Every structure is written in C-alpha cells, then in structure tokens.
Amino acid sequence: MFSNIDDSLNSIKNFDFDECRPATEDETANWLLDDGPMLKTTWMVYDRQFPDGQREICATRSVRIKQIGSLPLQNRSKRGESEKREQNDDDSAKRAKQAVRLRCKTIGADRMITLTYRENMQDIDRLKKDYDSFRRRMGKYKQFHYVATVERQKRGAFHIHVAVRGRHSYHLLQNIWLDIVGVEMNEDGTRKPMGAVNVRNPNKLGFGKNDNHKLSGYISKYITKDQETHGLNKKRYWSSRGIVVPEKNYYQLPYGADAFEAFSHVMQLGADHNSEGMTFFSNQALGVCWVATAPCIH
C-alpha cells in the first residue's frame, strides 16, 4: 500500500531501514541477464555531496524494456523549427534552475546581495555591462565567488540577485555599485543615489537557523523562461569561474524494491547525515523522492 508513504515518512524513527540497500554487482548482473518479464521496474539512487557537507539524495523509479535488435531512429525537426519550442524553453529554464541551485551549494552561498536601480531600468545591454563592472571591481579586493540571477519586476525594471558566501563590506558594495549607476544632486544640494544595495542572510529571508542551504532554491526561483531575460548573455544566470559542481554517485537498489523501501532508504541517508533543516520532496505518481540536507554539524 503506497497511499500512506508520504505521511509515514514524517515519522522517520519508526522505520525499519534494513530492508533496502544498494544492489551488489552480482545482483545487478543477474538482474540484467535473467529471463524475466520484458518490462522491469528498478529504483536508482544518486547521492551528491558538497564541499561544506550539504548533501542531495534522490531515488527515481524507471522501467526498462528488454529490447531485441536496434531501436528505430526518430525523425528530428530542424533546429529552430521545433513545434515544441515552448516546452524546450520550459526545459531550458528547469536546467538553469538546477545549475543555479548546484552552484550556490558548491560555493556554500549563505547571503544574497540585491543590486537595484532607482529608475525603471529596462536596458538588458546596460544591465550586463553594469554587472560585469561590478563583479570585476569586487574581484580586485577579494576572491569573489558568486551566482547571479536577474529578476524582472512587474513594471519591467531589472534587479540583480547575487548569491555569495561570507560577509562582504557593505560600504564597499555600496560604493562600487553607486559609482557604476551614478549619484545625482537634488535641488537642495543633497545626494540622490541612482541605485541601492541590499544584503540579506537566510534569517532575513525567513529561513531558520540551519536553513542556509535553502538559499540556493530561493535564488533559483528567479530563473524564468522569458526570452528577453534569457538574452542577457545566452544564459539565464551568471556565475564566477572555478565553480566545480560535485559529481553524482549512482547506484541501483535491489530488484524488487518498492516505493516505500526506496523512499525510506533516501530518508534514512538524509537523517543520518543531518536532519536539521532537511528539505524533502516526493511524488509517488512520478516515482521520485528527493532530500536535501544542511551542512554537516561538527
């Protein structure tokens, strides 16, 4: 019975996790070579661990078909003529969101810098030029690892959200950004900055004490499939060089494992690693269970 899987996962301590484990090499070989049914259901698990101890674990269900002979080739439409362009844009946005999330976790981002304009600035070329100046000048003062996305407000104005790790001098950030966007003088002689800088840590974003890893999901939400925003530099985000996202470690669960066993296996790995601030998602219909943990507690 799968109807109570999600509810049962809320009471992790009551699970018996010994039933599910990675399949051995012999089990996998026998599973591939046996004369069983044409359609075989299997559960694959991937485990990705980040430098600061954050971890993502996911179990996915797949059905393999025992194929005799080669598969027929599919007709492919010419580039730029696909009838599924909207779906392709949506898929591209999803890939970009994942890339932003993984890069944020790789650098251990725990703060978000927001760069804004006072005016209703809608010039994409200027936005790219201004941010390029900002990140270059920041890099002269200290190593500046970042992942940046663009938000377009309802009025059309652009903001830049930059995920970074550690404290950065607010005065330095402000001076650099205002030097780029300019400062005008009011009639009374007071200064009128043409932009602003806002720095927020996870607590100010509404996350808890051990939820700084959720910042990666928060900043990736600004990725959209809007084509005008997409034209910033043929990507939907910017990131500094040298960010090497850790590879996934894949393995298969034993043949015959069901959804409950696969989901509980993932939950156990996450809980053993660090259950504080753990994020959980499951969808029985899709056959997927995903867990993300906060950095290790030492």
pLDDT at residue 37 tops 70: no
88-239: CATH class: alpha beta
**Is the Cβ–Cβ distance between 146 and 163 less than 8 Å?**
yes
Residues 6+ apart with CB under 8 A from 219: 100, 104, 109, 112, 147, 149, 161, 163
- Segment among 15-24, 54-63, 65-74, 162-171 with least mean pLDDT: 65-74
pLDDT at residue 235 tops 50: yes
What's residue 155's pLDDT?
A: 86
- As a whole number of angstroms, the distance between CA 118 and CA 52 comes to 37
pLDDT at residue 11 tops 70: no
**Is the Cβ–Cβ distance between 133 and 125 less than 8 Å?**
no
- pTM higher than 0.85: no
Give the CA angle between residues 124, 129, 132 to the nearest 5°.
125
Q: What is the percentage of the chain residues whose pLDDT exceeds 70?
A: 75
Band the pLDDT of 289: cuts 50, 70, 90.
Answer: very high
Band the pLDDT of 72: cuts 50, 70, 90.
Answer: low
- Segment among 32-46, 123-137, 170-184, 259-273 with least mean pLDDT: 32-46
| Mean pLDDT, range 269-284, rounded to an integer | 84
- Segment among 137-141, 152-156, 159-163 with least mean pLDDT: 152-156
Give the CA angle between residues 156, 157, 163 to the nearest 5°.
125
**Is the Cβ–Cβ distance between 243 and 145 less than 8 Å?**
yes
Band the pLDDT of 75: cuts 50, 70, 90.
Answer: low
- As a whole number of angstroms, the distance between CA 46 and CA 44 comes to 7
Top-ranked range on mean pLDDT: pick from 21-35, 82-96, 179-193, 214-228: 179-193
The 3-class secondary structure across 43-93, one letter per residue, is EEEEEEECCCCCEEEEEEEEEEECCCCCCCCCCCCCCCCCCCHHHHHHHHH
| Mean pLDDT, range 62-69, rounded to an integer | 64
**Is the Cβ–Cβ distance between 158 and 151 less than 8 Å?**
yes
Q: Where in the chain is the domain with CATH 3.30.70.1910?
A: 88-239
**Is the Cβ–Cβ distance between 134 and 177 less than 8 Å?**
yes
